[in-house]
Amino acid sequence: MISSPLMTVMVDAVRKASRGLRRDFGEVENLQVSRKGPGDFVSAADRKAEEVLRDALMKARPGYGMVLEENGTIEGTDKSHTWHVDPLDGTANFLHGIPHFAISVGLEREGQIVAGVIYDPVKDELFVAERGKGAFLNNRRLRVSGRNDMADALVAYGTPYLGRGNHPRLLREVGAVMAVSGGTRRMGSAALDLAYVACGRLDAYWERDLQTYDFAAGVILVREAGGFVTAADGAAEPLATRSVCAGNETLQRELLAILKKAQG
Ligand code: IPD
Ligand code: CA
Ligand code: CA
């Protein structure tokens, strides 16, 4: 585990916000059967979790800026630090009672992601990473998968929501990956997809049309676990293009080449 004042701030904030989220997830199942459905309830749960995170992070680091999913961007007095906060990543899973979602908090310092915390409250899995200090799941040091053959690899991807993104391009890419990989997954939480690459459960992952709070924490987790992350077009820094391609050194490179070829 990493013991630094920064990690303490991040982990405390995330754990605090997770209590309400876990409680609210327990209610969702009952709401599934109601005619109105759980939609409004889930938006409220999401907003509540974000308020807890915002207040805790602001109190601990008053000058830092923030990019929040629900409340947009807050300019800080300290221009070199920005939090990227997703209070509930995997909303569609949460809404449907599927226990696969997380809170994700990343810290950007002068254009680089330097720390990240992703917490899955249902499985009680806490993923943390800080630049130069490694990546951990609970207390276990993380390492990306050692598989080097795409034919054995489990590759995850994300699908854009209805009316967004380039669906035909994604279908071409998924087709190309399915043709050469051991298997594909669409799991529903970008943050956990990256965390799973960091711990070797997934071998590689790509997605476009993301927001920075979906992947900021995950990027540092993968890198600190010895993996590689670029934008989906190969650009070194995913923050600018808001797309990601992640994996170990071999499979990340190979996945990039498959995606490029699928462009036609
Ligand atoms: C979504 C999830 C999903 C990804 C979407 C994201 P949300 O975040 O990370 O896996 O495919 O692009 O928007 O809406 O659940 O916070
Ligand atoms: Ca969200
Ligand atoms: Ca998200």
- Three-state SS annotation for the chain: CCCCHHHHHHHHHHHHHHHHHHHHHHHHHHHHCCCCCCHHHHHHHHHHHHHHHHHHHHHHCCCEEEEECCCEEECCCEEEEEEEEEEEECHHHHHCCCCCCEEEEEEEECCEEEEEEEEECCCCEEEEEECCCEEEECCEECCCCCCCCHHHCEEEECCCCCCCCCHHHHHHHHHHHHCCCCEEECCCCHHHHHHHHHCCCCCEEEECCCCHHHHHHHHHHHHHCCCEEECCCCCCCHHHHCCEEEECHHHHHHHHHHHHHHCC
Is the model's pLDDT at 249 over the cut of 80? yes
Residues 203-223: what's their mean pLDDT? 97
134, burial (CB in 10 Å: exposed 0-12, middle 13-18, buried 19+): middle
Q: 48-67: per-residue pLDDT in tens? A: 999 999 999 999 999 999 99
pLDDT category, 37, cuts 50, 70, 90? low
What's this model's pTM, rounded to 2 decimal places? 0.96
Ligand 1 atom at minimal distance to the Cα of residue 91: 15
pLDDT at residue 2, as a whole number:
87
**Ligand 1 probe mutation, 84, 91, 100, most atoms within 8 A of CB:** 91
Q: How many residues does the chain have?
A: 264
Report every protein residue that has its C-beta within 5 angstroms of ion ligand 2.
Answer: 69, 86, 88
58 HSE (CA, 13 A, CB side): 14
pLDDT at res. 231:
97
What are 15-35's pLDDT values in tens digits? Answer: 999 999 999 998 887 776 566
Query: With 90 as the cut, is the pLDDT of residue 217 above it?
Result: yes
User: What domains sit in the chain, N to C, each tagged with a CATH number?
Assistant: 5-141 (3.30.540.10), 150-262 (3.40.190.80)
89 is known to lie in a ligand binding site: yes
Average pLDDT over residues 6-12: 98
Please write the tens of the pLDDT for every residue from 146-182: 999 999 999 999 998 888 889 999 999 999 999 999 9
Mean pLDDT of the chain: 95
214 annotated as belonging to a binding site for a ligand: yes
- What is the percent of the chain with per-residue pLDDT over 90, rounded to a whole number? 85
Which pLDDT does position 35 carry in this prediction? 62
**Does 88 carry a binding-site annotation?**
yes
* Burial class of residue 87 in the structure, from the number of CB atoms within 10 Å of its CB (0-12 exposed, 13-18 middle, 19+ buried): buried
When pLDDT is averaged across residues 89-106 and rounded to a whole number, the result is: 95
Burial label, 97 (beta-carbon count in 10 A; 0-12, 13-18, 19+): middle
Ligand 2 mean position to 41 CA, how many Å?
Answer: 14
Report d(CA 196, CA 215) in Å as an integer: 12
Ligand 1: atom nearest CA of 93 is: 15
Q: What is the pLDDT of residues 112-144, one digit of tens each?
A: 999 999 999 999 999 999 999 999 999 999 999
Ligand 1 atom with the shortest distance to the CA of 213: 16
Q: How much is the average pLDDT of 35-47?
A: 80
